[in-house]
Amino acid sequence: MKPTVTKKAFLDFFFSDNYDKKNYGIDLVNELIKKGTITVTIEDVYKDVGYIPANICENLTKEQKQDDDLEFDPSEVTLID
């Protein structure tokens, strides 16, 4: 069974670092200045993230969830509500 991650767990992970939040916000503002409008969905953010850590995923064994080095490509994990 393919690992899953909830939207909430993904967003909590993605925005857990203040530096990342600030840089993402700056990128969005710059895009808004350039184009005058922006549309960003959670799916857009998800497909552009570099990895999904196992500890935020569901449908994994206890050992997999506890493996701090285990990461997945976003294409290997299903994003769920």
Q: Indicate the pTM of the whole model.
A: 0.86
The pLDDT of residue 18 is above 90: no
The pLDDT of residue 77 is above 90: yes
Q: What pLDDT, on a 0 to 100 scale, did the predictor assign at position 78? A: 97
The pLDDT of 66-71, averaged and rounded, is: 95
Domain spans in the chain, listed from the N-terminal domain onward: 4-80
The b-or-e profile of 29-44 (16+ CB within 10 A means b, else e) is eeeeeeeeeeeeeeee
Q: What pLDDT, on a 0 to 100 scale, did the predictor assign at position 30? A: 96
